[in-house]
Amino acid sequence: MSCKNESWWVALILSVFFLVNLFTAHLSPVPWYDEVFYVSPGLNLYLGEGFVSNAWPFQSGHDFWSCYVPLYPLLLSVWLKIFGFSLTTIRSMGYFFAALAGFFLWLSSLRFGWFKDTRGRLTLLVLALCGHGATISYRSGRQDALAILLAAALLCSFSIKNKYGRFISIFVLAFICPWVQLPLVLYGIFIAVLFFFYFKKAFLDEFIMMGLGFFSGIPWMLAFFGWHDAMDAFLAYNKQYVFFGQTWQEKQRLLVIQNASVGAIFLFIVALFLLWKAGRYLTSQQKTRLRFAGTVFLLFPLIMWLVWDFHVQYSWTISLPLRICVIMALFSADFSLGAKQKKILLAAIISFVLIAGLPARLALILYQYEARDYRMVETFIKKHVKKEDVVYCGFLPYYAVKAITPHVFLWTYSTFTEKDKKDVSIVIIRPDSIADYKGDIGGEWFLQDTLDSNPNHKGEIGFGRWKIKPPKNDLEVYRRTPRGVET
């Protein structure tokens, strides 16, 4: 296949990928705490309320937001000015970043010559976009899709032929990394050190330039918060999560709960099989690549667990090197394993992606379409919330409420003043914990309406303890009882 025809295939794959995710954005996932946390400052900036948030604990909604690095919510505010505000447009930015990352990954595979034919490059592209961990990352509403884009762009910048263009691109992209995600800096340093251990001085100058970019971007990012009188708050808030800020009990909990994606674990098993059972068919360079990717899988989660935490949204950091090196080995002409065995291994990888990755996720959410449809929540909220209302709510109704009134407090917001509590006129919360939330703000409340999102239990799959149920979008609306009226 010619390079021109291959480019058309790449454009088709990326377009289908973006559109499929776009048209299912309102179905999955249910708006959750991390998503709302990172979106709220950018959304408030777009709505003219300033770079603030009424969602984060320990920081007032009147202070400049400084609970994490700022680039993702800043870019989101620009994105919303272009495309408008809705749940779909907010999440579409992550899909766009993921598609762009896929393009840079394909371009890297072409420039570095990882594959001798088109099939290998297109297979890598599809598997990278549809993997289990990557799917969770770019559909989660967090800043992870932007981090993946930066990592893919950095990888591609190493392939620029012009020396000065290559160094400038690497420096600029590395400079941006601390503004997007702090673990991205740690990941880049880890990859550089491990790469030197396995491949000696290959790309040494480029990695030095990357390090200079990292350590130039950090002080400028801190200066950004200092300019807004928020650097002390930024350092204080993030100190509890980095550099062993958590207690040993918290670390033990994170070790149990937050782990690698099943896709990364499966690829690691395939890499072990290639090294131990098919090692005699591999060249020494292929073995070194697989050992490098396997070491990333084993060590980086441990390092992240020690200095930060490691959960499934970070699993792209360990699955991407494995995916590249495993697919390179299977498509290499130097890999003398029989053609039948290669096809079986490749079919197993593709089948696992279909079962655990994006295709299976899409099939499930489409089967559960009626129970998952967020427009049901939006219709319910429009019936009860007015522009002048001050709303106290959970994460589920946040976007629907914010589209009507800017005056929204999340239940995680812990710097309530007495005035804030008295101003709240309506509480919208899940039915199972309403007593706690009403107690937080005081006063007498009466139940106005309820939303049962799935009364007929549609979309349930399986049986007994293995039954997969759609997420509950159930809500209750409470209004403050007027003075002089009995509850």
pLDDT tens digits for 387-403?
Answer: 999 999 999 999 999 99
Distance of alpha carbon 6 from alpha carbon 124, whole angstroms: 13
Same-domain check for residues 346 and 433: no
Note the pLDDT of residue 224: 97
What's the number of domains the chain is made of?
2
pLDDT band at 236 (very low <50, low <70, confident <90, very high): confident
Domain-located, residue 215: yes
What range defines the domain where residue 464 resides? 373-480
- What is the pLDDT at residue 309? 78
For range 283-292, the mean pLDDT: 92
Query: What is the crossing angle of helices 118-130 and 316-331, to 10°?
Result: 160
User: 406 and 270, same structural domain?
Assistant: no
- The arithmetic mean of pLDDT across residues 452-469, rounded, is 73
pLDDT at 439: 62
Provide the terminal-to-terminal Cα distance of the chain, rounded to the nearest Å.
74
Q: What is the mean pLDDT of residues 257-265?
A: 67
Q: Are residues 321 and 438 in the same domain?
A: no
For residues 177 and 288, membership in a common domain is answered with yes
- In terms of domains, do 405 and 421 share one? yes
For residue 342, what pLDDT is reported?
74
Q: What is the pLDDT of residues 148-172, one digit of tens each?
A: 999 999 999 999 999 999 999 999 9
Instruction: Report CA 68 to chain centroid distance, whole Å.
Output: 15
Confidence at residue 198, expressed as pLDDT on a 0 to 100 scale: 96
Share the mean pLDDT of the chain.
88
Q: Last residue of some domain: 325, 344, 366?
A: 366
Percent over 70 (pLDDT), the chain: 90
Are 351 and 443 contained in the same domain? no
Q: Which helix (H) or strand (E) holds 306?
A: helix 284-307
- On whether both 266 and 401 belong to a single domain, the answer is no
> What is the model's pLDDT at position 258?
46
User: What average pLDDT does this structure show over 322-342?
Assistant: 80
Q: Give CA torsion, residues 398, 400, 403, 405, to 10 deg.
A: -60
- Does 487 reside within a domain? no
pLDDT at 256 (0 to 100): 42
User: Partners of 450 in the beta sheet?
Assistant: 476
> What sign does the dihedral 147-55-65-215 (CA atoms) show?
negative
Span 119-140, average pLDDT: 90
Among the candidates 366, 401, 416, a domain finishes at: 366
Per-residue model confidence (pLDDT) at position 313 = 87
Model confidence pLDDT, tens digit, residues 37-56: 999 999 999 999 999 999 98
What is the bridge-based pairing of β-strands 426-429 and 391-393? parallel
Phi/psi for 475 (5° steps) reads -140, 155
User: Are 399 and 323 within one domain?
Assistant: no
**Which of the given ranges, 115-119, 181-185, 199-203, has the highest pLDDT on average?**
181-185
Token pair 């394909």 is found at: 106
> Is the model's pLDDT at 404 over the cut of 70?
yes
Q: Is the predicted pLDDT of residue 487 greater than 70, yes or no?
A: no
Average pLDDT (367-379) is 91
Q: Is residue 96 part of a domain?
A: yes
Please determine, for residue 248, whether its predicted confidence score (pLDDT) is greater than 60: no
Answer whether residue 239 shows pLDDT above 80. no
**pLDDT band for position 67 (cuts 50, 70, 90):** very high
- Looking at 336, 366, 396, which one is the last position of a domain? 366
Tell me, what's the pLDDT at 147?
A: 97
- Tell me, yes or no, whether 85 and 201 share the same domain: yes
Residue 44 lies in a domain: yes
pLDDT band at 257 (very low <50, low <70, confident <90, very high): very low
The residue among 486 and 63 whose pLDDT is bigger is 63
Judgement on whether residues 339 and 401 belong to the same structural domain of the protein: no
pLDDT of 250 above 60: no
**pLDDT reading at 419 higher than 80:** yes
**The pLDDT of residue 99:** 98
- Greater confidence, 260 or 440? 440
Do the domain assignments include residue 21?
Answer: yes
486 lies in a domain? no
In which band, very low, low, confident or very high, does the pLDDT at 311 lie, cut at 50, 70 and 90?
A: confident
Q: For residues 145 and 98, is the Cβ–Cβ distance under 8 A?
A: yes
Mean pLDDT for the stretch of residues 369-381: 92
Contact 205, 269 (CB under 8 A): no
C-alpha 220 chain-centroid distance: 24
Given a cut of 70, whether residue 183 has pLDDT beyond it is yes
Confidence band, pLDDT 50/70/90 cuts, at residue 117:
confident
448 part of a folded domain: yes
Same domain as 442, residue 304: no
Q: What is the mean pLDDT of residues 252-277?
A: 73
State whether 314 and 441 are in the same domain: no
Residue with more model confidence, 459 or 413:
413
CA distance 427 to 320: 43
Residue 102 has pLDDT above 90, yes or no: yes
Does residue 442 register a pLDDT over 90? no
* Of 230, 191, 13, the residue nearest 105 (C-alpha): 13
Q: Give a yes or no: residue 147 inside a domain.
A: yes
Q: What is the rounded average pLDDT of the residues 413-435? A: 83
Closest CA to 72 of 165, 134, 5, 145: 145
Distance of CA 449 to CAs 380, 428, 431, 478, Å? Answer: 9, 10, 11, 7
